[in-house]
């Protein structure tokens, strides 16, 4: 939790789990209920962040550590320019990925020390913590079936072992802090997942008064 008037909601999960769809559905739900909010995505969300995103997805020269530094630069710009001002002004921020992606992808899957990632991520995120985090969990097999091969970026082209490690990373992070995390089975109907998210959100943060 942050000592800020706004609330930060984070969506995480492996490729193709549906977190972008769910972030957008939640944004629409807030819009329909006239709840002031901001939807951002990582990596990206700012002009420079989107350029960094493109490098991350396509440059073959990168390794885990250079990914971490690029991701952290994009994160720091996004937090300082958009997320922190929104939280300070009392808005709800929905973030499609956050530093837990670095812990799972660069940590569990690429093998970078978790404590190094935590230290760098906390600095990049300017000590901001989520108020609730949703892990939309699907198996790597389901994840693989959701994209055409020649449209895949550098991460999506990784092996099934890599994606299994990412998923296991997320599950161990989420299971180690059950106060923060809500794990959702992502193989269900999109609208059922959305309703579950609204229910869990209200249960924890009471954002929507019916």
Q: Which residues bind ligand TYD (CB under 6 A)?
A: 15, 20, 41-43, 56, 71, 97, 101-102, 105-106, 153, 155
Closest Cα partner for 29 from 204, 196, 172, 203?
196
Closer residue to ligand TYD, CB minimum distance, 24 or 153: 153
- 42 vs 131 by CB, closer to ligand TYD: 42
- From the CB of 15, what's the least distance to ligand TYD, in Å? 6
CB of 101 to ligand TYD, least distance (A): 3
Contact 197, 22 (CB under 8 A): yes
Q: Least CB distance from residue 163 to ligand TYD, whole Å?
A: 9
Beta-carbon contacts of residue 112 (< 8 Å; ≥ 6 apart): 64, 65, 68, 106
Residue 9's closest CA among 21, 29, 26?
Answer: 26
Q: How far is the CB of 102 from ligand TYD (least distance, A)?
A: 4
- DSSP-assigned beta bridge partners for residue 10: 95, 133
Toward ligand TYD, which CB reaches closer, 56 or 94? Answer: 56
Q: In this complex, which beta carbon is closest to ligand TYD, that of residue 22 or of residue 102?
A: 102
Q: Shortest gap between Cβ of 69 and ligand TYD (angstroms)?
A: 11
Taking the least distance from each CB to ligand TYD, the nearer of 6 and 43 is 43
Q: Which residue's CB is nearer to ligand TYD, number 94 or number 207? A: 94
Residue whose structure tokens are 């300017």: 126
Q: How far is the CB of 41 from ligand TYD (least distance, A)?
A: 6
């Amino acid at each position: 939790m942050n000592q800020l008037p706004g609330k930060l909601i984070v969506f995480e999960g492996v490729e193709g789990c549906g977190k972008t769809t769910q972030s957008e559905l939640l944004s629409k739900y807030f819009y329909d209920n006239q709840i002031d909010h901001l939807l951002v995505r990582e990596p990206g969300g700012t002009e420079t962040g989107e350029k960094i995103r493109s490098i991350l997805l396509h440059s073959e020269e990168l390794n885990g550590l250079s990914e971490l530094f690029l991701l952290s630069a994009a994160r720091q710009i996004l937090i300082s320019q958009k997320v922190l001002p929104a939280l300070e002004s009392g808005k709800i921020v929905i973030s499609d990925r956050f530093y837990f992606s670095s812990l799972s992808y660069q940590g569990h899957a690429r093998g970078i020390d978790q404590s190094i990632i935590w230290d760098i991520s906390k600095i990049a995120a300017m000590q901001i913590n989520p108020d609730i985090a949703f892990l939309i969990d699907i198996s790597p097999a389901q994840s693989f079936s959701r994209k055409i091969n020649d449209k895949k970026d550098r991460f999506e082209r990784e092996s099934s072992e890599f994606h299994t490690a990412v998923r296991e990373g997320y599950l161990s992070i989420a299971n180690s802090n059950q106060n923060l995390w809500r794990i959702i089975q992502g193989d269900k109907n999109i609208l059922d997942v959305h309703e579950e998210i609204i229910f869990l959100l209200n249960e924890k943060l009471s954002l929507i008064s019916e």
